[in-house]
Amino acid sequence: MATWGDYRWNWYTPYLFQQHLDSDGNTLLQRNGAPVLTGMGVQLNMAFSDGVPDGQGGGIWLYVAGDSNSLLRLVRTNGAGHTLWDVWSPYYCWHGIGDFQRHPIYSTVWITTGENRSGGQNFRSYLYSVDINGRFLFGPGGIPNVGGQLTPTTDGMIAVETDYEAPATHVVAKRIHTSSRILWQNPVALGGLTPGGATIFYNASCSPDGGDGAVVALGDNRGMSGSHNISGQRVLADGMLGSPPVPVIYNPGGQIQSLSASRVSYFLPQAGEIRLDLYDLLGRRIAILQQGYQQAGNYSIPLQDRSLPSGVYLLRLEAAGQAQMGKLVILK
């Protein structure tokens, strides 16, 4: 199943179109797709549209416009592409979609959003659930302060989101029952702050763990500053954390943090032998700026006393068997 904004009828106003494909890739509707809402132009600046199977041969489609006065809208169509119902939340505001999933057990779809119902930059997350008949099960306004990525459980969903109102934890997990009850008394905090004050984890995504919990993949800031490491953390069905976060992708090498005509700064996530060389654009080594064993941490090397002429230079930092290059421009 697929949906898209289509300008074939009006260059200035996109219409929401759909197409169903079988397992061999054959189109089941009209060759060029069918409109989700026949004869109705949708709003400009379409920011998000998606669809999930309804379990009965049709689909449930989600549409959000990209302006500050839009509605969260859901449409259900049958296998022939005919509209069965069309519902929307009552709030005209900016909507950002976090996740959109059909529950594998219940005939419901779940949506997480970020909305600024009070205007300005006052965004808050919301969780919606809509059944196969188009009823908002948590009310048309959803449940506030629950958003992010979703993973299903036997009795609802686990939501993992970035909580900007709790910077000391930053990423939290919540378990929600199909009745709208929050099952865990307190949100499960994933991470905290590094010694430098940065959040440990960010950009969470999650999937079922096979036991009514979740496995959460997280961007990991611990001891790396600027690299793109990923760790995995399990959240159990009772809201307890599993074993400590396990690195999934880890870059043990050093990172060049900043370059200027007067100083080069770099970071080492672990202790070991390092070498920092300076080259010209012809590949000739101009100087060995640092060489030897260093503990993990931040380092800074002055360049003023090297009397380098104007030009472009390359720095090569080698640590833990990995190398990183940086470009330095000096103008005098």
**Spatial separation of the C-alpha atoms in residues 131 and 107, rounded to whole Å:** 6
pLDDT value, residue 88: 87
**Spatial separation of the C-alpha atoms in residues 2 and 9, rounded to whole Å:** 19
Q: Which CATH architecture has domain 255-330?
A: Sandwich (2.60)
Q: Report the mean per-residue pLDDT for the chain.
A: 80
pLDDT value, residue 39: 42
Instruction: Kindly report, residue by residue over 178-212, the tens digit of the pLDDT.
Output: 999 999 988 888 876 665 666 677 778 888 988 99
* Dihedral pair phi/psi, residue 305, rounded to 5°: -80, 5
Share of the chain above pLDDT 90, in %: 23
pLDDT value, residue 42: 44
Residue 261 has pLDDT above 80, yes or no: no
pLDDT value, residue 193: 66
All structural domains of the chain with their residue ranges: 1-147, 152-251, 255-330
Question: Which has more pLDDT, 54 or 162?
Answer: 54
**Spatial separation of the C-alpha atoms in residues 238 and 2, rounded to whole Å:** 37
Question: Which has more pLDDT, 276 or 222?
Answer: 276
pLDDT value, residue 249: 56
Instruction: Kindly report, residue by residue over 50-74, the tens digit of the pLDDT.
Output: 788 898 888 898 887 655 667 788 8
Instruction: Please check whether residue 306 is in contact with residue 290, taking contact to mean a CB–CB distance below 8 angstroms.
Output: no
